[in-house]
């Protein structure tokens, strides 16, 4: 018997997050382990008069990276390009049956392939910015991810669905309430020129003048809960230490410290995964920050190694190396967008134009 929350999540996604319309081409991607949710999404798209297409993730990436030669690593599929150019809506279901499958793969091969897909990323960003493509990512909980989170599957399912507010009578209404709360913070930050972040082994400042802070309230991700922008590219100066592991292609990079000068990473280290960190920084545009965000979902209470949840955790900030979101005004271009998380609950402070507005994981205004 399918969990009733699966159908509730499918309705929330198609009615609220991406608002599927009649005759739209909807592309759905995800593991076959997530078929109950994908089937429910497919049904909802049909009921709304759309034309859904499901392409399963075959989890062949281990085979690809193990055997692919350089021309294959750098190949850009015309089929992938066609899909990004023609879909009206893209829904990705996050469900990974083996998060560790790339652990033994050479980091340089992953870096080379990801860098080669820059054209696909740019088409995606352009169409989204122009309003020609809507997209979202949503979760489907399975045992492998419950194990990563060190939780029994039943508790992990509750954690996942409750973080999407599916335990509420009307989840869409609840997300709209969050949207109004975020508007207050965004209004403040959109008037701000400079941001300063202080915390454990952290002193970082940068400009956000002319940039737009966006309200993340269940549209592009489910679960959600953050406000974010793209900093002025050459303005970052100082050092930040990320207290949670960065997860990249299933590999963990722990205790990351980055030092910036005029926007570029000038020094980088990690207690674990240092080689992978250095390979990532070699990707064009990956040595700059494309996003700065503050997590606001206090229903997410623990780190699960699934960034879809972790980056939204209340009491944290995250930054992304690489590609900016153009709708924020960010200009940095890269084939990657790698989010890394920092706990702000113990002594963390954020200042807007010299005035503290965030302390110990909480906003002081609104």
Residue 299 has pLDDT above 90, yes or no: no
Residue 1 has pLDDT above 70, yes or no: no
Question: Where is the domain boundary, 94, 129, 163?
Answer: 163
Does residue 75 fall inside a structural domain?
yes
Does residue 89 fall inside a structural domain?
yes
Does residue 329 fall inside a structural domain?
yes
Residue 314 in tokens: 């209340």
Domain boundaries, position 46: 4-163
Do 305 and 99 form a contact (C-beta atoms < 8 A)?
yes
Question: Where is the domain boundary, 140, 163, 186?
Answer: 163
**Per-residue model confidence (pLDDT) at position 250:** 81
Residue 72 in tokens: 């294959």
User: What confidence tens digit (pLDDT) does each residue in 209-253 have?
Assistant: 999 999 999 998 999 999 999 999 999 999 999 999 999 988 899
Average pLDDT over residues 176-188: 92
Judge if 88 and 182 occupy the same domain: no
Question: Where is the domain boundary, 134, 163, 192?
Answer: 163
Does residue 258 fall inside a structural domain?
yes
Residues in the chain: 366
Judge if 232 and 156 occupy the same domain: no
**Per-residue model confidence (pLDDT) at position 338:** 96
Better-predicted residue by pLDDT, 249 or 278: 278
DSSP H or E segment with residue 159? helix 153-163
Judge if 332 and 242 occupy the same domain: yes
Average pLDDT over residues 305-331: 93
Judge if 208 and 348 occupy the same domain: yes
- Cα separation, 311 vs 281, in Å, equals 21
Report pTM: 0.85
Q: Measured between alpha carbons, how far is residue 16 from residues 20, 170, 229, 278, 355 in Å? A: 8, 12, 23, 39, 36
Question: What is the number of domains present in the chain?
Answer: 2
| C-alpha torsion angle, residues 178, 181, 184, 189 (rounded to 10) | -50
């Amino acid at each position: 018997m399918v969990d009733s929350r699966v159908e509730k999540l499918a309705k929330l996604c198609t009615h609220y997050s991406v608002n599927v319309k009649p005759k739209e081409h909807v592309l759905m991607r995800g593991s076959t382990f997530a078929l109950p949710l994908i089937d429910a999404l497919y049904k909802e798209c049909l009921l709304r008069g759309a034309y859904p297409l499901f392409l399963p993730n075959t989890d062949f990436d281990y085979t690809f990276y193990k055997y692919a030669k350089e021309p294959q690593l750098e190949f850009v599929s015309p089929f992938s390009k066609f899909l990004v150019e023609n879909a009206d809506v893209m829904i990705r279901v996050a469900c990974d049956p083996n998060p560790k499958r790339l652990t033994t793969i050479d980091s340089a091969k992953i870096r080379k392939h990801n860098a080669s897909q820059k054209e696909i990323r740019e088409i995606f960003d352009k169409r989204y910015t122009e309003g020609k493509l809507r997209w979202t990512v949503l979760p489907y909980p399975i045992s492998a991810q419950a194990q990563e989170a060190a939780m029994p599957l039943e508790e992990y399912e509750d954690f996942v669905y409750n973080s999407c507010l599916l335990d509420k009578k009307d989840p869409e209404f609840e997300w709209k309430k969050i949207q109004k709360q975020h508007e207050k913070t965004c209004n403040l930050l959109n008037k701000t020129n400079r941001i300063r972040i202080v915390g454990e082994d952290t002193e970082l400042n940068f400009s956000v003048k002319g940039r737009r802070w966006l309200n993340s309230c269940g549209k592009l991700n489910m679960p959600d809960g953050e406000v974010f922008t793209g900093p002025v590219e050459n303005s970052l100066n100082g050092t930040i230490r990320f207290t949670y592991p960065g997860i990249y292609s299933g590999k963990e990079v722990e205790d990351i410290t980055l030092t910036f000068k005029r926007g570029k990473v000038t020094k980088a280290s990690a207690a674990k995964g240092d080689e992978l960190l250095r390979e990532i920084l070699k990707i064009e545009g990956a040595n700059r920050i494309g996003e700065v965000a503050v997590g606001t979902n206090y229903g997410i209470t623990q780190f699960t190694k699934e960034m879809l949840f972790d980056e939204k955790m209340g009491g944290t900030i995250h930054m992304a190396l690489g590609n900016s979101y153009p709708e924020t005004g960010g200009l940095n271009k890269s084939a990657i967008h790698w989010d890394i998380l920092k706990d702000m609950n113990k002594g963390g402070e954020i200042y807007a134009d010299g005035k503290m507005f965030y302390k110990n994981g909480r906003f002081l205004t609104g």
